[in-house]
Structure 1
Amino acid sequence: MNGTTVSRRAFGKLVGAAGAGTLVAATLGGSPGQAAPLPAWTTTGTTVAALSAFDNAMKTFMQARHVTAGQLAVTYKGRLVLARGYSNQSVQLIQPTSLFRVASLSKSLTAAALLRLAQDGKLSLGDPVGKYVDLTPPAGQAVDPRMAKVSLWRILQHTGGWDRDATNFDPLSKDLIIARSLGVPLELTHADVVRFMSGQPLLHDPGSYVSYSNYGYLLAGRVVEAVTGQPYETYVRQKLLAPLGITRMANGYSIARHSGEVGYESQYTGTTVLDNSGTIVDSPYGTFSMRLHDANGGWIASAVDLVRWASAFDAGSPILNSTSLGRAWAVPNPTGVNADGWYYGLGWQVRPVTTGGTGRNTWHTGSLPGTYSIVVRTYHGLSWAAVFNRRDDESGLAYGDIDPALWAASRAVTSWPTHNLWSTYFA
């Protein structure tokens, strides 16, 4: 990502192909051989003529993929200038405050929690994970001695030594395998996953290699609980979200929905991991455990909540001081900036920009069955967040296309509005 273009690499994937099982035929209406008619298009929130390119981008993207619910919020120079809900059907009217699962966008909250605990003198980011989390492996197995070098820094920067690309093994999507190995029932607990993984060898020396790790962030959530004596969600809501006036965000449920939360859609089904029944369920409702994903991908939020949260990483943040912000953007050592010109900071992907503004673009994407999300902070004072209740499409169109589409929309704006909508959505 730079000032004029955005990398489409799907580095922020949460569970990969989880939920890709039985394909369910979609009934979209229309006669055989005819294109299905598009459902009614409904928008909510304040219409801003100067920002119509954003509305057009969202409509084009959603209708091409048969996405029935979406949301967008945009800030400019610290002002909330656009907050919109979009619906492609009449079943659920999407408001700017409707709640969506945001998947891996959750990682920035978990990283900020450790940054704040370090800022408050409760821990050091150089501490080994094993100082706070019980890493006892299953009977007959041993902990890799290199785990002593897996620090909090390294789990947040994805350099802990695990490698799901090499092994095709992300424990957050292997519930059945873990349950059978440990002889425990489903639904798994965090302690089950940690015990299983404590008996698995690292694939790399800690700090030497970057490989996206949901498990590292699961561990980070357990560190928060060990240090604070509070549930992970409680600490984040009280110490990080409340000072920003964010009250809607919460950890989501696997089946039930919070008040104001949207319904999720997928063309796929799979076997539930919430119990041992073997029941085939719609992919968004039970092929993964939201309880397990809390710290690496379990939050729900509206797009306006997400851009408000993104402001916590600006200078003058009410929750993170300048030292903490510097740590958030620190380049991993020794892995450095990758060949595509970006690196993973603490909960954010970061692309250095050599001229103007903050000197960096930062972003993250999130993906789960029934969910696609993105948040972007630009070097020249813009931010936006978009969320959707679907991540698949019969035509195979890429969801990462929303990234360049929103960049193009931002470049189409000739005059930015001077209004500020924060007070509409936050007390």
Structure 2
Amino acid sequence: MQRIRTSRRTFGRLAGTAGLGALAGGVLVGSPSVAAPTWRVTGRSAASLQPFDDAMRGFMQARDIPAGQLAVTYQGRLVLARGYTYSEDAGLTVQPTSLFRVASVSKSVTAAAVATLAQDGKLGLTTPVTSLINLVPPAGQQLDPRMSQVTMSRLLQHTGGWDRSLSGDPMFMDRTISRALGVPMELHLADVVRYMSGRPLDFAPGSRVAYSNYGYGLARQVIEKVSGLPYASYVQQRLFAPLGITRMKLAWSVAPLTGEVPYRSQYTGTTVLNETGDTVPAPYGAFSMRLQEGNGRWAASAVDLARWAAAFDAAGPVFDNSSLSRIFARPEVGVNPSGWYYGLGWQVRPVSGGTGRNTWHTGSLPGTSTLLVRGSNGLSFVALFNQRDDASGLSYSTIDPDLWAASRRVTSWPSHNLFPSYF
């Protein structure tokens, strides 16, 4: 297994470790540079796929992104697996197997876990959440009676009744919840669930769509209760092991996993990992990774996610055809005017007269920007970055059209398959 070479100097510079990096004006900086950033590429590809390398280089250099990764599959074959480094620090070398926090791309994993529990007859997608787990509000508060209408499919399709634009996102309301419950930080997901069990829903379940990280946190609780296993154990045993995926793990707020890249942001915040009130780099404690379990905590490489995405192409060791149909089925509400909708952990756009579909998900946290795309034309790609903001003000969402444009410049696709090199 290839590993990222992250020196103490590199980690300190990007994570703000005392004595190894400094914070100036809210922007993470390192020791004065003695050399300009250099562009370095690892991994395998083919000459005909140069447009993908060019797209990643242009995107990363314009935004001064130190670490990136790309995996491309075509007709089920892994044809490109790259790590990209744009840094003056030789201690940072991104490999195709380096790990990145993938943020909300994790939702495809949680939804799949629920789908396999349904496939195995352990729950139903129309089963109310309140029939599967016991939701106990704080003393003196009541559970919204409409919670009996929140089914598993509504949780996963973001129609459960929570609207973060109205009542906030509880996965990032650590201090509010800490004070309300009288518990210290760092919070546990169970604290968030208890707090939310005493709050009214923002709308009637099933009546409209509102993206909800909390819904996926609640789905995580269901997975543990129904499976009888810790969330990560169930996912690794039931979903990842049959696919040969061994690198994907739950990320932490500060301690890096082996082979994990460091993260960078121009912003700082007050830590939610304890009560000290310390100012920290945004990716390292301004939010709690522990609370994101279910909605955004997985760390993976692009090749891992390419392998994961391929599991949705046809029935196999994880999903049967009925499960795949349910994962991508149209919801009861929420079809966008342009035709796309949110299925179970995936955004879905029917194409080719309804006979095919493009599916995708993005991820975003301080220090993280990710994209996973499955195309109806046999092309899929995964792009991961260790930064989501910078002084340029440029959008990070343009990587999607950039990579589609790169694919149209490919005149011939290689016949090789790199999957056996990584699994």
After TM superposition, the score normalised by the length of structure 1 is: 0.91
Contact persistence 1:22–1:268 (CA under 8 A): no
Contact persistence 1:160–1:216 (CA under 8 A): yes
Contact persistence 1:38–1:63 (CA under 8 A): no
Partner letter of residue 289 of structure 1? S
CA distance in 2, matches of 1:80, 1:153: 32
Task: Give CA-to-partner distance per residue, 1:364-385, whole Å, 9 cap, x none.
Answer: 0000000000000001111100
Task: Give CA-to-partner distance per residue, 1:289-345, whole Å, 9 cap, x none.
Answer: 111111100000000000100011111332010000000011111x14112321000
1:425 is aligned to 422
Q: What pairs up with 1:84-103 in 2 under 5 angstroms? A: 84-89=82-87, 90-103=90-103
Dislocated runs of 4+, deviation >6 Å: 28-31
CA distance in 1, matches of 2:128, 2:75: 39
User: Helix, strand or coil for the counterpart of 1:248?
Assistant: coil
Contact persistence 1:133–1:219 (CA under 8 A): no
Change (3 A) 1:27 1:120: closer
2:19 is aligned to none
CA distance in 2, matches of 1:39, 1:29: 13
Partner letter of residue 100 of structure 1? F
The answer as to 2:374 corresponding to 1:372 is no
Q: What pairs up with 1:125-164 in 2 under 5 angstroms? A: 125-164=125-164
Cα drift, residue 203 of structure 1: 1.1
1:56 is aligned to 54
Contact persistence 2:265–2:366 (CA under 8 A): yes
Contact persistence 1:73–1:307 (CA under 8 A): yes
1:251 is aligned to 250
Larger relative contact order (Cα-Cα within 8 Å, sequence gap ≥ 6): 1
User: Helix, strand or coil for the counterpart of 1:45?
Assistant: strand
User: Helix, strand or coil for the counterpart of 1:160?
Assistant: coil
CA distance in 1, matches of 2:405, 2:173: 38
Partner letter of residue 62 of structure 1? M
Cα drift, residue 28 of structure 1: 8.5
CA distance in 2, matches of 1:179, 1:53: 49
The unaligned stretches of length 5 or more in structure 1 are 1-20
User: Helix, strand or coil for the counterpart of 1:323?
Assistant: helix
Task: Give CA-to-partner distance per residue, 1:152-188, whole Å, 9 cap, x none.
Answer: 0100000001111233x00011111110111110011
User: Helix, strand or coil for the counterpart of 1:396?
Assistant: coil
CA distance in 2, matches of 1:130, 1:30: 56
User: Helix, strand or coil for the counterpart of 1:70?
Assistant: strand
The answer as to 2:389 corresponding to 1:392 is yes
After TM superposition, the score normalised by the length of structure 2 is: 0.91
1:10 is aligned to none
The answer as to 2:83 corresponding to 1:116 is no
Change (3 A) 1:74 1:128: same
The answer as to 2:80 corresponding to 1:78 is no
Task: Give CA-to-partner distance per residue, 1:384-409, whole Å, 9 cap, x none.
Answer: 00000000010111110101001101
Partner letter of residue 414 of structure 2? P
Contact persistence 1:101–1:252 (CA under 8 A): yes
2:351 is aligned to 353
Contact persistence 2:160–2:215 (CA under 8 A): yes
Partner letter of residue 418 of structure 2? L
Task: Give CA-to-partner distance per residue, 1:24-71, whole Å, 9 cap, x none.
Answer: 24659999xxxx985110000014110000000000000011100000
Comparing 125-134 with 202-211, greater Cα deviation is found at 125-134
What CA RMSD, in Å, does the superposition of the two structures yield over aligned residues?
Answer: 1.8
Change (3 A) 1:23 1:400: farther
Change (3 A) 1:113 1:27: closer
The answer as to 2:326 corresponding to 1:324 is no
Task: Give CA-to-partner distance per residue, 1:74-95, whole Å, 9 cap, x none.
Answer: 0000000000000011231000
Contact persistence 1:22–1:269 (CA under 8 A): no
CA distance in 2, matches of 1:27, 1:224: 41
Partner letter of residue 70 of structure 2? L
The answer as to 2:105 corresponding to 1:105 is yes
2:403 is aligned to 406
User: Helix, strand or coil for the counterpart of 2:359?
Assistant: strand
2:43 is aligned to 45
% identity of equivalent residues? 61
